[in-house]
């Protein structure tokens, strides 16, 4: 597809090409109606597959439009103009995590030094919470990697590229997304993902690889071909992260090891568990790693044999496709959402070149595993929350496993107060109530998200405040404990 800069798609004028991928191009654009900058992803289609991809595009666009989370890049609009489908979302000039980790020095690529583990955990914990939310909506990302984690100007992480997300809504969704094995990026793919049959634990594995990469400066498995990378993911244990960072606390290696278990049933069983582990490391550097679920020996042998059989099958298919000149089509599928490219960071290859929001000093932590005291009940955390501001009497509360002391309490309501007024209220009320600021972000659409913690109680609250467009200001509060 030719560069569309200078042309219009509906009311959006495409200004400059930011990046391109297998089947999409990303443009910085101007929304003529609202007079603001946005990012537009233009889907490139071949005539022979146009109908299939248009169906997938429409379904995935609707799925994305349902996602409302402070750390997910929101979809504002989607449509089709002159046979070209497109998605409209926030324009984030901060670039991607991949850009932040790879800089240019004298025209040559150079990597930023490994990130302290507490800083890496602080950066990825919001992404884990965003994925936990998406999983609750029945959406699996399936392509977690640094290129799909965008950064705001303040350095807050935002998850993008749900283009190959699979809706878990029956046979129709399966048919629309069943493009075969190998959907994802080989360096970050869980072993079972090559079969095309995955659940949210595949995203846990991929985010574990990103965590490993951030704190060691290395991906766990490297090889000359994607097929060889897959076999390593399938059969080889990852090198201990202490091989690269000798003084890394053992508890951090245990968290990584649990996320990178070969068999899904041995990993964290949901993204919320992994998010809690990351939050604990970020806040205190301590976390108790629960034992993986026990598995019957016969069943374990059966699972391993099945995965090995899949490995031989996938490798065989890759060899045949390579001979036919089709290997790239299978191994690098046409993603709907390539990551935007931004100018390289300054040449200094130090940790200080990363966004200020993730620059937190690393505390000295003993290398031994230190049991973490049980978290205070989430209800005790709720007692420290200020009362709701003036609202429209439509507050809804959703309790998830709160009776056990863990879990979360989510509250939603609308108010006639402006976004800034709600934000000022919570900042003042929380800080005067002993809560400590964790992060905040103001988006281009006027929405604001806030995060606060009480470290000694291991309480964390996320507040997302957004314009209601005629329905009053919308407020979403997520309260949880970190273990």
Which of 90, 118, 137 terminates a domain? The answer is: 90
pLDDT of residue 482: 67
pLDDT of residue 110: 66
Mean pLDDT of 445-473: 82
Mean pLDDT of 282-291: 59
Mean pLDDT of 405-431: 83
| CA–CA gap between residue 68 and residue 3 (Å, rounded) | 31
Note whether residue 348 is domain-resident.
Answer: yes
Is residue 466 a contact partner of residue 419, using CB atoms and an 8 Å limit?
yes
Both 218 and 333 in one domain: the answer is: yes
Both 278 and 169 in one domain: the answer is: yes
pLDDT of residue 131: 95
Both 435 and 338 in one domain: the answer is: no
SS3 140: strand
pLDDT of residue 271: 95
pLDDT of residue 55: 73
Top-confidence residue, 411 or 286: 411
Element (H, E) at 454: strand 448-454
**CATH at 264:** 1.10.510.10
Both 214 and 138 in one domain: the answer is: yes
Phi, psi of 287 (to 5 degrees): -165, 140
Among 199, 241, 284, smallest CA distance to 460 is for 284
Q: Which of 31, 90, 99, 143 is catalytic?
A: 143
| CA–CA gap between residue 475 and residue 185 (Å, rounded) | 36
Among the residue ranges 202-211, 271-280, 418-427, the one predicted with the least confidence is 418-427
pLDDT of residue 337: 32
Among 345, 344, 350, 208, smallest CA distance to 281 is for 208
Note whether residue 165 is domain-resident.
Answer: yes
SS3 483: coil
| CA–CA gap between residue 309 and residue 339 (Å, rounded) | 34
pLDDT of residue 312: 55
- Give pLDDT tens digits for 154-212: 889 999 887 544 433 333 333 333 333 345 688 999 999 877 678 999 999 999 999 99
- Give pLDDT tens digits for 337-386: 333 333 333 333 334 344 444 443 333 333 334 344 444 678 888 888 99
Both 331 and 443 in one domain: the answer is: no
Total domains in the fold of the chain: 3
| CA–CA gap between residue 99 and residue 145 (Å, rounded) | 12
Which residue matches tokens 């349902």? 66
Model confidence at 95, in pLDDT bands (50, 70, 90)?
A: confident
Q: How long, in residues, is the chain?
A: 483
Which of 41, 59, 90 terminates a domain? The answer is: 90
| CA–CA gap between residue 263 and residue 293 (Å, rounded) | 11
Which of 358, 391, 426 terminates a domain? The answer is: 358
The partner residues of 81 in beta bridges, in order of sequence, read 84
DSSP state of 155: -
User: Given a cut of 50, is residue 142 above it in pLDDT?
Assistant: yes
Q: Where are the beta strands (DSSP E) in 60-147?
A: 75-81, 84-90, 102-105, 108-111, 139-140
User: Given a cut of 80, is residue 139 above it in pLDDT?
Assistant: yes
Note whether residue 284 is domain-resident.
Answer: yes
Both 419 and 351 in one domain: the answer is: no
Among 217, 312, 209, smallest CA distance to 262 is for 209
Model confidence at 401, in pLDDT bands (50, 70, 90)?
A: low
User: Given a cut of 50, is residue 32 above it in pLDDT?
Assistant: yes
> Is 143 assigned a catalytic role?
yes
pLDDT of residue 347: 36
Helix extents (H) in 158-199? 171-177
| Averaged confidence pLDDT in the chain | 75
Both 127 and 86 in one domain: the answer is: no
pLDDT of residue 50: 61
User: Given a cut of 90, is residue 65 above it in pLDDT?
Assistant: no
Locate 302 and state its tokens.
Answer: 């059966």
| CA–CA gap between residue 354 and residue 146 (Å, rounded) | 13
Note whether residue 207 is domain-resident.
Answer: yes
| CA–CA gap between residue 121 and residue 126 (Å, rounded) | 9
Both 68 and 108 in one domain: the answer is: no
Q: What is the DSSP string of 279-331?
A: HHHHHTS----PPPPP--HHHHHHHHHHHHHHHHHHHHHHHHHHHTT-HHHHH
Note whether residue 3 is domain-resident.
Answer: no
* Helix and strand numbers, DSSP H then E, in the chain: 12, 18
Both 297 and 245 in one domain: the answer is: yes
pLDDT of residue 313: 55
Q: What is the DSSP string of 192-238?
A: GGGGT---HHHHHHHHHHHHHHHHHSS-S---SSHHHHHHHHHHSPP
Both 68 and 148 in one domain: the answer is: no
| pTM of the full structure | 0.62
- Give pLDDT tens digits for 289-347: 544 444 444 444 554 555 555 455 555 545 444 444 433 333 333 322 333 333 333 33
**CATH at 77:** 3.30.200.20
**Cβ contacts of residue 364 below 8 Å, gap of 6+?**
none
Cα separations (Å) of 466 from 30, 150, 179, 378, 418? 21, 20, 36, 25, 9
Both 442 and 407 in one domain: the answer is: yes
* Pairing, β 436-442 against β 448-454: antiparallel
pLDDT of residue 41: 87
pLDDT of residue 180: 36
Both 76 and 101 in one domain: the answer is: no
Note whether residue 363 is domain-resident.
Answer: no
User: Given a cut of 50, is residue 246 above it in pLDDT?
Assistant: yes
pLDDT of residue 124: 96
Domain housing 62: 8-90
How large is the angle between the packed helices 271-283 and 200-216, nearest 10 degrees?
A: 30
Top-confidence residue, 184 or 412: 412
pLDDT of residue 53: 65
CA-based Rg of the chain, rounded to a whole angstrom?
Answer: 22
pLDDT of residue 305: 54
Note whether residue 373 is domain-resident.
Answer: no
Is residue 230 a contact partner of residue 311, using CB atoms and an 8 Å limit?
yes
Note whether residue 341 is domain-resident.
Answer: yes
Q: What is the DSSP string of 31-49?
A: ETTTTEEEEEEEEP--GGG
User: Given a cut of 70, is residue 24 above it in pLDDT?
Assistant: yes
């Amino acid at each position: 597809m030719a560069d569309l800069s200078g042309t219009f798609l509906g009311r959006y004028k495409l200004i400059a090409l930011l990046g391109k991928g297998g089947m999409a191009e990303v443009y910085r654009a101007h929304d003529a109606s609202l007079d603001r900058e946005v990012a537009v992803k233009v889907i490139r289609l071949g005539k022979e597959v146009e109908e299939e991809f248009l169906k997938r595009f429409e379904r995935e666009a609707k799925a994305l439009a349902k996602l409302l989370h402070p750390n997910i890049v929101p979809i504002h609009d989607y449509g089709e103009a002159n046979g070209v489908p497109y998605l409209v979302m926030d324009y984030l000039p901060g670039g991607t995590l991949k850009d932040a980790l790879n800089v240019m020095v004298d025209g040559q690529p150079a990597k930023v030094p490994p990130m302290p583990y507490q800083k890496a955990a602080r950066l990825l914990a919001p992404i884990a919470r965003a994925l936990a939310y998406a999983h609750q909506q029945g959406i699996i990302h399936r392509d977690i990697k640094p290129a799909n984690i965008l950064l705001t100007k303040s350095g807050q992480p935002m998850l993008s590229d749900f283009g190959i997300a699979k809706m878990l809504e029956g046979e129709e969704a399966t048919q629309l997304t069943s493009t075969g094995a190998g959907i994802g990026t080989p360096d970050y793919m869980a072993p079972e993902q090559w079969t095309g049959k995955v659940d949210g634990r595949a995203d846990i594995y991929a985010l574990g690889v990103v965590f490993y990469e951030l704190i060691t400066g290395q991906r766990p498995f490297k090889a000359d071909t994607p097929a060889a990378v897959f076999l390593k993911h399938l059969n080889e244990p990852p090198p201990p992260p202490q091989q690269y960072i000798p003084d890394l606390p053992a508890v951090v290696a245990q968290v990584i090891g649990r996320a990178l278990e070969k068999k899904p049933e041995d990993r964290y069983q949901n993204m919320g568990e992994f998010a809690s582990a990351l939050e604990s490391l970020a806040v205190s550097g301590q976390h108790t790693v629960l034992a993986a679920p026990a598995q019957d020996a016969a069943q374990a042998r059966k699972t391993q044999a099945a995965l090995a059989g899949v490995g031989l099958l996938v490798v065989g298919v890759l060899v045949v496709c390579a001979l036919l000149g089709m290997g790239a089509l299978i191994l690098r599928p046409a993603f709907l959402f390539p990551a935007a490219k931004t100018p390289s960071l300054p040449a200094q290859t130090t940790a200080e070149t990363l966004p200020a929001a993730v620059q937190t000093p690393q505390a000295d932590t003993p290398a031994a595993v230190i049991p973490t005291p049980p978290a205070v009940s989430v209800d005790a955390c709720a007692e420290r929350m200020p009362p709701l501001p003036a609202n429209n009497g439509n507050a809804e509360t959703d309790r998830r496993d709160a009776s056990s002391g863990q879990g979360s309490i989510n509250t939603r309501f609308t108010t006639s107060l402006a976004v800034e007024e709600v934000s000022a209220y919570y900042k003042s009320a929380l800080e005067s109530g002993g809560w400590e600021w964790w992060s905040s972000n103001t988006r281009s659409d006027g929405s604001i998200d806030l995060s606060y913690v009480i470290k000694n109680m291991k309480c964390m609250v996320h507040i997302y405040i957004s314009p209601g467009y005629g329905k009053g200001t919308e407020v979403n509060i997520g309260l949880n404990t970190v273990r």
